[in-house]
Amino acid sequence: LLILQDKTEFELLKKVKEDFITSVSHELRTPLTIAKGNTQILKDFMKDNQFTKQVTKIEESLDRIENIISQLTLLSKAEFGEYELKKELINPTTLYNEIVKDLYEKIQEKSVKLHFNCQIQSIKSDKFVLYTIFRNLLSNAIKYSYDNSDIYINFLSEQLIIKDEGIGIREEEQKRIFERFYRGAEANNYAKGSGLGLAVVKYLCELANYKIEFESKWMVGTTFKVVFYR
């Protein structure tokens, strides 16, 4: 057992943890890339036969591992203040279109209707940070929506609001949703996930000095709001 005597020791331990996550992530990426590449070859080669379903499952699982690794790396970087924020002019509509392309399969699967309303031409932010916050929140809105329901996305000059009419978050779970690896008790019945998405969103909002808040009612829906301070 390590007894932490002062801040320096604590900082050192944090650094060890960050280095550990970074190197493990790095080591995992190579075999993962090989596995993904070969799965793709298998899939192309087999076309449609009785094993297509199994290979697709392998592919999905590899994508999930890749996603967990990216989010963990990002979290440890952000936590250690090693991520350097850029100031770029971003067009929210272009950003939204990129995210929708990225989430295309999920959107199709659920047949959700997205209503996007944008009132500004540009926003000054770090593209990667804004993309990740926006993507994770929209991805959740889709994941936890009922089939065929509506999702409203409003990009205003000072805030981004994403409103869904999905399963909502139980009151007793609301204080825990930003914790790492925390998943709602019923989340698994609706979608796969790692419980890292909102932890990443929270860290990135802190980093960029944005405020994040939400309102939710079980079985009714959830609204997330990101307030930009500029």
Phi then psi for residue 89, to 5 deg, are: -90, 120
Smallest gap from residue 32 Cβ to ligand ADP (A): 19
- Contact 124/155 with Cβ under 8 angstroms? no
| Minimum CB–partner distance for residue 86 and ligand ADP (Å) | 24
Min CB(197)–ligand ADP separation in Å: 3
Kindly tell me which of 130 and 187 has the beta carbon lying closer to ligand ADP. Answer: 187
Residue 217, SS3 per DSSP: strand
Least distance (Å) between residue 56 CB and ligand ADP:
20
Tell me the sheet residues that pair with 221: 217
Q: Which residues contact 15 (CB under 8 A, 6 or more apart)?
A: 80
CB 60, min distance to ligand ADP, A? 14
Question: Residues interacting with ligand ADP, by CB under 6 A?
Answer: 140-141, 143-144, 164, 166-169, 177, 182-184, 187, 193-199, 222
Beta pairing, strands 159-164 & 123-125? unpaired
Nearer to ligand ADP, 149 or 194 (CB): 194
Rounded Cα distance, 137 and 224, in Å: 7
The two three-digit tokens of residue 146, written as one number:
């009922």
Which residue lies nearer to ligand ADP by CB, 18 or 173?
A: 173
| Nearer CB in complex with ligand ADP: 126/164 | 164
| Nearer CB in complex with ligand ADP: 71/125 | 71
CA 19 to each of CA 71, 76, 171: distance values in angstroms, whole numbers, following the listed order: 15, 9, 37
